Amino acid sequence: MAIDFTAISPNPALLDLPWSIPLEEWPEEHLAALPRGISRHVVRFVKLTGDVLAVKEISEPLARREFQTLRNLRRMGQPAVEPLAVVSGRVAADGSPLDACLITRHLRFSLPYRVVFSQRLRPDTARRTLDALAVLLVRLHLAGCFWGDVSLSNTLFRRDAGDYAAYLVDAETAELHRELSRGQREHDLFVAHGNIAGELMDLEAGGYLDEGEDPIEIANLIMHRYDLLWNELTSEERFEQGDRWRVDERIRRLNNLGFDVDELEMSTDLDGTHIRIQPKVVDAGHHSRRLMRLTGLDVEENQARRLLNDLDSYRASTDRQGDDESVVAHDWISRIYEPVTRTVPPELRAKLEPAELFHEILEHRWYLSERAGHDMAIEDTVRDYVATVLPGKPDEVAVVGVDTEEIPIQARMD
């Protein structure tokens, strides 16, 4: 058997996997018990030299196409899983050919939508999840990515300071263009609405949707949220020439949504009395990039916003508004953030990633302070959180032992 490996960073341990066996029949000794979403193809999680990989069995042309699409999306800074390799030329023991395999890196602390809903987190879980998916779809469309099969099943979710951040996990039908037409965007939205409504109806039938939630109404929200965000990012704004402050206001609104403005198109009317402004190039990750620049922390957008707020509070409480921001950020990391996250016992560190843990501790401090009627020390807050809240949370680094195939779903969607 002449197996062909096309890999970004070849790992010799890949050669030791049983490629002559259909993926569905791989022995348990190679597999990691992680939650899986619904897929039209066989997908398995594999343990390999301290890492966890997702392996999808698929025809070779589709595997190579998806591999390249994911590589391009990652180069563009889009939220998508990381492709590692394509394995082709597989042959079974009886000589029959086997499909190729696409290998991606498992996205740590990520959850498929069925696990998100099965945990019954907050009453508005469905709306927050769809909001994250709407933001992901806007980001992809701005980058010229036509998804083609938008659904909750093709998305992974990571906690982001109480909300969620969405990642594209299945790019099998995705296409990259210089710019999307209105028809392409509307097609993605039409497919999204139908798929999401069906997936939510399945959850409702299985008892995993919050009581009183309407799947159709919730699916409609992605249309509304998408339209609001798309218009804010791309629409033209017209104002009097004396109101130039509104240029800064527009940029601040975009920054608050988590987007950077790289270029603005500005023009005046023939009489020179009105100015028109339209963002030309927008990019997501404004707060996460600022935090990365100041501290080196690579976190989700809402987490970055929360951490920056705490950094600003630290700067004010220490009366260092006039000091260099990067110097204050270094002190905040060494005196606040790292001591707090290191306080968690090693056996509990798989519960949440550090940035989400820090966010929850800040939330817990607010709760304790309100109950006590005075500010609680961060040290006391950490001790109470570790003792009373954290032990009850699932290990989101893996959610080992949870197989979402066991969650009853009335109908599977292709």
Q: Please give the pLDDT value at position 147.
A: 96
Q: Could you read off the pLDDT of 41-59 as tens digits, one per residue?
A: 899 999 887 788 999 999 9
CA 259 to chain centre: 15
**Whole-prediction pTM:** 0.74
Q: Please give the pLDDT value at position 370.
A: 85
Q: Is residue 409 within 8 Å of residue 41, measured between CB atoms?
A: no
Q: Please give the pLDDT value at position 85.
A: 94
What is the CATH code of the structural domain delimited by 4-106?
Answer: 3.30.200
Residue type, 325: E
Residues 6+ apart with CB under 8 A from 185: 141, 230
Q: Please give the pLDDT value at position 399.
A: 42
What is the residue extent of each domain of the chain?
Answer: 4-106, 111-234, 237-284, 287-392
Q: Could you read off the pLDDT of 356-397 as tens digits, one per residue?
A: 899 999 889 888 988 888 888 888 999 999 999 888 877 665
Fold of 111-234: Transferase(Phosphotransferase); domain 1 (1.10.510)
Say how far apart CA 171 and CA 67 lie, in whole Å.
8
Residue carrying the six token digits 């696990």: 115
Say how far apart CA 318 and CA 330 lie, in whole Å.
14
- Residue ranges in the chain whose pLDDT is less than 70: 1, 35-38, 119-126, 241-242, 244-245, 262-266, 269-275, 277-284, 395-414
